[in-house]
Amino acid sequence: MPPLVSVILPTHNRRRTLSRAVDSVLSQTHGDLELIVVDDGSTDTTAELIAEYDDPRLTFEALARQAGAATARNRGIELARGQLIAFQDSDDEWVPGKLESQLEVFDRDARIGWVGGRHRVVAGSEAWTVGPTSIIAGEDHRAELLDGRAFVTPTWLVRREVLAAAGGFRQDMPCLEDWDLIFRLDDLCEFAAVDEVILTRYASADSLFGNADRQRIGLELILADHAGRWRDHPAALADRHRDLARLQSRLGQRRQALRSYATAASLQPLRGRTYGAMVKALLAPTSSEE
């Protein structure tokens, strides 16, 4: 009999943290699940680590070559047998009642197509919480969606048919493909979020969200492909252009950063810090590609 929940975990050379991620799924208080680990071309001993697990709920799929997290997740979706799909990352940790809390939300309202929740970020000795306190189906949650940081992939639980209708993850995006998919999911169904921290993310230099150039490309695609979603939210759009400018500055792309800051200033002219950031970007060194 198929499990109720299929959990998809893409990984690439993360043996050091993978056990923590896997264990947090297999030890859920709701145990009617399968865990599909998709190895995205690892060159370490990931396969040997997974082979040490003696749990029939765990399956392993190895891609022939590294293709990216979006491709690995989509392959996991193809293999999934559950009515509901969840995602885990190989350096993150679910809280034990994550699935149980989200399933209770589905049970209360048949209109809901996907459920999120809050997450805690740990970076060395610092930690902070990200995400909404709660969202009830039918409430206006555009502010959270337009922020982009509120609903990371490992917090999701999605109905299989809704995910299929949305088309899965875009494989041409090097980063932020989860944000792109969130917008498409939101077009199709009601959304809710539990008022709990259901995930711990451990920030590291090689985290999926840690590469500035991938983030820049992903954010540029988001702003280009979903521009209309910010039409009535100029302050939120200004925030995203400031995010883009900061990434461009880190990469030494001074002219592009100045243009992004100028766009942010035109959308939110009374935000004084934007002008200070523009001066800082103007004085910063440029990359050799400019």
Q: Write the CATH number for 136.
A: 3.90.550.10
Q: Residue 271: its pLDDT value, please?
A: 72
Tell me, yes or no, whether 194 and 230 share the same domain: no
Q: Are residues 228 and 252 in the same domain?
A: yes
8 A C-beta contact, residue 3 and residue 36 = no
- Among the three residues 141, 168, 202, which one is the final residue of a domain in this structure? 202
CATH number of 278's domain: 1.25.40
Q: Are residues 192 and 227 in the same domain?
A: no
Total domains, the chain = 2
Q: Which of 178, 202, 226 is the last residue of a domain?
A: 202
* Residue 290 covered by a domain: no
Task: Please indicate, yes or no, if residue 207 is contained in any of the structural domains.
Answer: no
- Whether residues 32 and 105 share a domain: the answer is yes
Q: What is the pLDDT of residue 38?
A: 99
pTM for this model (two decimals): 0.89
Task: Clarify whether residues 191 and 238 are in a common domain.
Answer: no
Q: Which domain holds residue 81?
A: 5-202
Please indicate, yes or no, whether residues 268 and 137 belong to a single structural domain of this protein: no
Same-domain pairing of 60 and 188: yes
Residue 289 lies in a domain: no
Identify whether 55 is part of a domain. yes
Same domain for 275 and 171: no
Note whether 154 and 240 are same-domain residues: no
pLDDT at 221: 96
- Residue by residue, what is the 3-state secondary structure of the chain? CCCCEEEEEEECCCHHHHHHHHHHHHCCCCCCEEEEEEECCCCCCHHHHHHCCCCCCEEEEECCCCCCHHHHHHHHHHHCCCCEEEECCCCEEECCCHHHHHHHHHHHCCCEEEEEEEEEEEECCEEEEECCCCECCCCCCHHHHHHCCCCCHHHCEEEHHHHHHHCCCCCCCCCCHHHHHHHHHHHHCEEEEEEEEEEEEECCCCCCCCCHHHHHHHHHHHHHHCHHHHCCCHHHHHHHHHHHHHHHHHCCCHHHHHHHHHHHHHHCCCCHHHHHHHHHHHHCCCCCCC
Asked, for residue 288, whether it belongs to a domain, the answer is no
pLDDT tens, per residue, the chain with 290 residues: 999 999 999 999 999 999 999 999 999 999 999 999 999 999 999 999 999 999 999 999 999 999 999 999 999 999 999 999 999 999 999 999 999 999 999 999 888 999 999 999 998 889 999 887 666 655 667 777 888 777 899 999 999 999 999 999 999 999 999 999 999 999 999 998 998 999 999 987 555 445 889 999 999 999 999 999 988 999 999 999 999 999 999 898 988 999 998 999 898 886 767 766 776 766 666 664 55
Which of 171, 202, 233 is where one domain is finished? 202
Q: 248 and 174: one domain?
A: no
Q: Quick one: 249 and 154 in the same domain?
A: no
The reply to whether 36 and 120 lie within a common domain is yes
